[in-house]
Chains A and B, each alone.
Chain A
């Protein structure tokens, strides 16, 4: 009996309490929703605050750069220093375009074979050397690029007495690209399904044959993507080449000649006093950004296509 009484009592007081609780919770819900709406709006504003300056940058780059890059002289002529008589004679940047291509070519020749092999080694070995190299690669990948310039200067330019040259610049860029290639190759090789490897081993192939003929071809998409991204990072770097390539005003592909590069001529033209050079600099920047975008977009598209195909 007492239990039933209790039940009745709680039911009576319960209806009162339920109303009260509902009221309070309604208040809370309103407050929570208002608060949520405010914070979500703030986040959306942050999105705008990110987008506006970055889109503005791209817009100004294209608006000011397009008129410059539409002249063929921009690609074919050597740079000229404007004079008072001809303040608009800026020539072109053929030396910088060629220089960037040459630098990234030599840097790739130096960095890609070693980088890919080290990546494969890291993925297939669990020795202490591998562990140490992995930490090294990850730390070096974030190192400030100016340090590569200091390294190339002391080692190539001064100690080996080679002088300011394309070789020194591409060495600096190769040091920059190496850890990136190592890391991406390791990830690509590790991403190859174990079943493939095991199938090869089960058929009696030796481990190194499996690694070379089965794992490496299967990982090639990821490896190439990493290489392209490393190159696209390297061609935009100014600081390392600023110290060691010498800024030559000639078209040259020889490793021992001083060369120029697109980022370097951006840096130098921007600081120039001549308005015509300051106009031209937007064109150089546009060419550089288009280079980088094409490289990283093609890497991305290629990687996703191959993934779908698999």
Chain B
């Protein structure tokens, strides 16, 4: 939704000339002031949003910047409050989820646009968009009550059979199935509809002329996809990827339900861990004083990452628009 940037401003010359024709009537009426006041309120809310969180995190940055970025371990009432475990957990879960979601999602979008029979296309596209609207807590619930037992019973014993699996994933033994890997899988399932919805749109607006031209030269279906469609849609697909990444890093309750909520730096994905957003959600209820500002500081970190990602993704998508306009 947020990826749809409005077209560049296109003002008809009349609009600016008319007030001159009606010289004598003020161009600024109460209506204009109403619009401007609303805009100022919105600006104030946005500034307040960023400012409040940053302001409340300042005590933590003043005292514990080092431990926030590099410290391990979170001692609840007094500190130190180390953020490394959450940062590492966020990076791990969202990257693994992103890889799964992009590989599967790209194939899915291609099949929706080029392989499915025409009459199913709209149904599947609508279904995907509906699934993108399912609240994340429902995905978390499903991961917690359905996937976690399944991980314990099926996936972990199966992974155990492979060589090096203990070195790669660790061997958690008897636990309740919550792990960073499960969080990644749930995140992947959750961001798939979002990624597919956008990448399908990006792929389906590749001009038909290009596709037909290359088909007429005798290219096979895959050659058309690989040689024409994907390169044309490349930038937009990167935009969709960054958007999915932004969504994965910001996800809160789904991860809080399935990751296990343990603040340890953990590179073995089968052990429980946590992420920045879910740590804020689970710890905030009992937090006091310094801990609140430490959680706010984590929030600032999350905000920086998220804003950066969404700026990149928006830039890419608008560049894609220009590419297609040239074609």
Residue B99 is within 8 A (CB to CB) of chain A in the complex: no
User: Within 8 Å CB of B253, what residues of A?
Assistant: 238-239, 242, 263, 267
Q: Is the CB of A139 within 8 A of B141?
A: no
Distance A37 CA – B220 CA, assembled complex (angstroms): 9
Q: Is the CB of B15 within 8 A of A207?
A: yes
Q: Is the interface of A mostly helix, strand, loop or mixed?
A: helix
Distance A289 CA – B137 CA, assembled complex (angstroms): 10
- For window 132-151 of chain A, which residues contact chain B by CB distance below 8 Å? 132-134, 136-151
Q: Give B248 Cβ to nearest chain A Cβ, in Å.
A: 10
Q: Is the CB of A142 within 8 A of B310?
A: yes
For B221-233 the 0/1 string (1 means CB < 8 A from A) is 1110110000000
**Assuming A117-B39, A243-B281, A267-B253, is B306 touching A144 (CB within 8 A)?**
yes
Residue in B115, B225, B277 whose beta carbon sits within 8 Å of that of A44 in the complex: B115
Q: Is the CB of B302 within 8 A of A50?
A: no
Residue A66 is within 8 A (CB to CB) of chain B in the complex: no
Residue B22 is within 8 A (CB to CB) of chain A in the complex: yes
Q: Is the CB of B1 within 8 A of A50?
A: no
Distance A183 CA – B7 CA, assembled complex (angstroms): 12
Residue A306 is within 8 A (CB to CB) of chain B in the complex: no
Q: Give A261 Cβ to nearest chain B Cβ, in Å.
A: 10
Q: Which of A69-77, A85-93, A186-194, A248-256 contacts B (4 or more CB under 8 A)?
A: A186-194
Distance A132 CA – B42 CA, assembled complex (angstroms): 11
B45, B221, B281, most chain A CB atoms within 10 A: B45
Q: Is the CB of A47 within 8 A of B43?
A: no
Distance A124 CA – B136 CA, assembled complex (angstroms): 36
Q: Which of A1-9, A11-19, A54-62 contacts B (4 or more CB under 8 A)?
A: A54-62
Residue B158 is within 8 A (CB to CB) of chain A in the complex: no
A residues sitting closer than 8 Å to B (CB atoms) are 29, 32-33, 35-37, 39-40, 42-47, 49-50, 53-54, 57-58, 60-61, 113-115, 117-118, 120-126, 129-130, 132-134, 136-151, 153-155, 159, 175, 178-180, 182-184, 186-187, 190, 194, 197-198, 201, 204, 206-208, 211-212, 229, 232-233, 235-239, 242-243, 263, 266-267, 270-271, 278, 281-282, 285, 288-289, 292-293, 296-297, 300
- 27 pairs, CB–CB < 8 Å, chain A vs chain B: A36-B223, A45-B107, A47-B115, A61-B138, A117-B39, A121-B39, A126-B11, A134-B6, A138-B314, A143-B250, A144-B250, A144-B252, A150-B52, A153-B284, A154-B55, A155-B48, A183-B1, A187-B4, A197-B12, A207-B27, A233-B133, A236-B135, A236-B136, A238-B136, A242-B281, A270-B144, A282-B141
**Which 3 A-B pairs have CB atoms at the shortest separation, nearest pair first?**
A46-B107, A236-B135, A144-B250
